[in-house]
Amino acid sequence: METKLSRIKIKTAGVVLSLFFLGLNLNLSAQNTRDVNIKVHLNGVHSSKITLMPMSGAGALKPLIEKNGILNNETVVLNVPKDKLPGQFVLRFDYKEKQSSNPYPSEKYIFINNEDLELWVKPKSANNPDSTYFQKGEKENTLFMTFSIQNAKRKEQLGLLQNFLMSYDQPESKFYASGVEEYENRRKEYNSWLSAQVDTHKDAFVSCIFPLQYVSPIIWKGTEKERLNSLMVHYFDGMDFKNPQLAKTADLKDWMNKYVNLYGAMSTTIALRDSLFALAGQRAIEKAKLGHPLVYGWMVDYFYAGFESFNITSGMKMLKPYLDDPYCLTTKRQAIEVRLKGMETLVPGSLAPDFPWKLNSGKVIQFHDFKTEAKYKLVLFWSADCQHCKELVGKLYPWYQNPVYRDLMDVFAISLDETDTEIPVWEKAIVNYPAFKHKRAEKGIRSTEATAYFVLATPTLILVDAKTNKIVALPETVEQLEKELK
């Protein structure tokens, strides 16, 4: 469920498996037994910084290895630790054409399994096989390129026929029926070829993403809703969830995003969206449950992230039974349990957690003791460099300028910014929101305030009765907040 509506700042400890699964006969052979070296030969530029970043798992798209100041015609060796393998990676070059030039980025996506790699690269043409290439006999990346070329040709033929059938205006004709029959024959032939590719190259890590290309059947004479339902039902037909290496791929997330978007296409209201996304999650997890525990756990983590981002409480509750399953190797168990506890604790009518607040005078009082003529207090947890926060505050602040709402409510904006990069952004941003009362919580998402309110994502809104300090509502939007004030 791909979303950038909020920046999820979850920092939880990994699940300790050695004792917990003692005695269980599980195959956890999803990682390599040795480190792998990548020998990079730099050409065609003055110099470059070389960075290797994993595309999935812990630390995704964050530097794993950095080598600075590599000069033209120099060779550098990158040692990739075995616990990160196999996997998909981004090899990034921030290169200078001349010594006086500003750095310019280029990227190459690579697969790394159990084979040492040697790469000759010209950063200006990092994805041109004539300029950038691996050693002769290299397996994973060569196989991926070969498969991609063959797959594109086969899918192009299938796609042309599909587009024709989609746009043909006489679906009751014999010609259309023959077209559907031809499509089905080609679809089955393509899926058979795909299965053969997976079987032929089963020892290669990259082969585990081949099934993501599987083409599901389509009900051509059905309604649009019937077609969508058919795609949903058959979406997982070609997938082998028993392969533990599937959880190490970045393509799996993109593939699941497409699945969830099928449900999103049927959503006409927020309530229906939440219900459909929860249903999508349950169906997908039940399928993955029959596979490898690592993939099963990955699927739970995937939907947890999506439910948290969209604040889908029904989906979050749906995850609860899977936490009790010892075969579910979720890395977000602690975060999900905290979220569920928060859902049970922070409900309308319950007392809002208290926390210290520093007044303009410098005096520190408790939030519960803050005296105001307003009927409500609104607690806003946010981060100044969170895109979803910017969107929410961008609507909330102009709306709050209405004297009616200013008299009804005081806004307590608590920033969870904590890094040297984030804090200056926050300090600059709050100048634009003088009507809010501002505070930055020390330790950010791990702060006392965020912990008390079970905050795992930003932004979060809590509307509190100013006299009783009891929670009135947990609105997600300005529109929902406005309804609560009427």
| Average pLDDT of span 420-433 | 93
More confident residue, 199 or 223: 199
Q: Distance (Å, rounded) from C-alpha 259 to C-alpha 231?
A: 9
Residue 323 · residue 339 · CB < 8 Å: no
- Residue 461 corresponds to which tokens in the numbers above? 């809104």
| Phi, psi torsion values for 182, nearest 5 degrees | -65, -40
Cβ-Cβ contacts under 8 Å for 409 (sequence gap 6 or more): 374, 375, 376, 377, 378, 400, 463, 485
- Within 324-447, where are the H helices? 333-345, 387-400, 403-408, 422-429
Provide the pLDDT for residue 30: 53
Name the H helices within 19-79. none
Most confident of 25-34, 277-286, 312-321: 277-286
What sign does the CA torsion over 242, 247, 250, 256 have? positive
Cα separations in angstroms, 180 against 158, 162, 166, 190: 11, 9, 10, 15
Q: How confident is the model at residue 227 (pLDDT cuts 50, 70, 90)?
A: confident
Question: Do 438 and 430 form a contact (C-beta atoms < 8 A)?
Answer: yes
Banded pLDDT at 31 (limits 50, 70, 90): low
Q: Which residues pair with 134 in a beta bridge?
A: 119
The dotted CATH code for 356-485 is 3.40.30.10
pLDDT at 470 over 90: yes
pLDDT tens-place string over residues 145-164? 999 999 999 999 899 998 88
CA–CA separation, 198 and 107 (whole Å): 28
| Domain covering 36-134 assigned CATH 2.60.40.2190 in the classification | yes
At residue 203, the 3 state secondary structure works out as coil
pTM above 0.75, yes or no: no
- Tokens describing residue 395: 């609507």
Among the ranges 396-400, 418-422, 455-459, which has the highest mean pLDDT value? 396-400
Which segments within 318-375 are labelled E, that is strand? Answer: 356-358, 364-366
- Going by C-beta distance under 8 Å and a sequence separation of 6 or more, which residues neighbour residue 413? 380, 382, 430, 433, 436, 437, 438, 439
d(CA 271, CA 397): 26
Q: Where are the domains of the chain?
A: 36-134, 147-345, 356-485
Q: Is 52 within 8 Å of 91 (Cβ atoms)? A: yes
| Preceding amide of 459 cis, omega within 30 | yes
Region 75-83 average pLDDT: 95
pLDDT tens sequence across 34-60: 999 999 999 999 999 999 999 988 788
